[in-house]
Structure 1
Amino acid sequence: MHLLLVGPPGAGKGTQAKRLAKKYSIPHVATGDIFREAIKNETPLGKKAKEYIDQGKLVPDEVTVGMVEERLSRDDCQKGIILDGFPRSVDQANALSDILQDLELALDAVVNIDVGDEEVINRLSGRRVCSECGASFHVEFNPPQDAGVCDECGGELYQRDDDNPETIKERLVVYSEQTSPLIEYYQERDLLLVIDGETTPEQVFERIEKELDALE
Structure 2
Amino acid sequence: MIHIILFGPPGCGKGTQAKILEKKFRLVHLSTGMIFRHHIKNKTSLGKLSRYYINKGILVPDHITTNMLNIEIKKHIQSKGIIYDGYPRTKNQVFSLEKILKSLFLGRINIIFYFEIKKKLLINRLLKRGKISHRDDDSDIITVQRRIEEYNKETFFIWNEKKWKNNFIKINASSSISEISFFIEKEISNFNI
**Which TM-score applies when normalising by structure 2?**
0.82
Distance 1:177 1:74 in 2: 32
Q: Which has the higher contact order (CA 8 A, sep 6+)?
A: 2
Higher helix proportion (structure 1 or 2): 2
Aligned residue identity for 2:105: E
Structure 2 portions without partners, runs of 5+: 54-58
Give the unaligned 5+ runs of structure 1.
Answer: 131-135, 137-157
- Conserved in 1, the CA contact under 8 Å of 2:40 and 2:50? no
Mark the CA change 1:77 to 1:17 in structure 2 (over 3 Å): closer, same or farther: farther
Q: For residues 144-176 of structure 1, what are the alpha-carbon distances to aligned partners after superposition, in whole Å with 9 as ceiling and x for unaligned?
A: xxxxxxxxxxxxxx5746343343222211111
Indicate which of 26, 49, 58 corresponds to 1:52: 49
1:214 maps to amino acid: N
Cα separation, partners in 2 of 1:187 and 1:8, compared to 1, 3 Å:
farther
The alpha-carbon deviation at position 108 of structure 1 amounts to 1.6
Structure 2 counterpart of 1:9 = 10
Could you tell me which amino acid in structure 2 is paired with residue 183 of structure 1? W
The reply to whether residue 176 of structure 1 matches residue 152 of structure 2 is yes
Look up the match of 2:56: none
Contact kept in structure 2, 1:90 and 1:185, CA below 8 Å: no
Q: Distance in 2 between matches of 1:125 and 1:199?
A: 19
Q: 1:103-161 CA deviation, whole Å, 9 max, x = no partner?
A: 1122221111111112101222222555xxxxx4xxxxxxxxxxxxxxxxxxxxx5746
Larger Rg: 1
Report 1:101-180 matches (<5 A). Answer: 101-105=102-106, 106-129=108-131, 136=133, 158=134, 160=136, 162-180=138-156
Which residue of structure 2 aligns with residue 93 of structure 1? Answer: 94
Residue 202 of structure 1 deviates from its aligned partner by 0.8
Aligned to 1:18: 19
Match of 2:32 in 1: 31
Instruction: Count matched residues.
Output: 185
State which of 160, 164, 170 in structure 2 corresponds to 1:194.
Answer: 170
Name the SS for the 2:87 alignment partner.
Answer: coil
In 2 relative to 1, CA 61–102 (structure 1 residues): closer, same or farther, beyond 3 Å? same
Change in CA separation of 1:74 and 1:118 when aligned onto 2, cut-off 3 Å = same
After superposition, the Cα gap between the structure-2 partners of 1:51 and 1:166, relative to the gap in structure 1 and judged at 3 Å, is closer
- Report the CA distance between 1:84 and its aligned residue: 0.7
- CA-based RMSD: 2.6
Give the conservation status (yes or no) of the 8 Å contact 2:19–2:29.
yes
The answer to whether the Cα contact below 8 Å between 1:7 and 1:114 also exists between their aligned partners in 2 is: yes
TM (norm. structure 1) is: 0.74
Distance 2:188 2:87 in 1: 20
Corresponding letter in the other structure for 2:138? D
C-alpha contact 1:27 1:77 (8 A) present in aligned 2: no
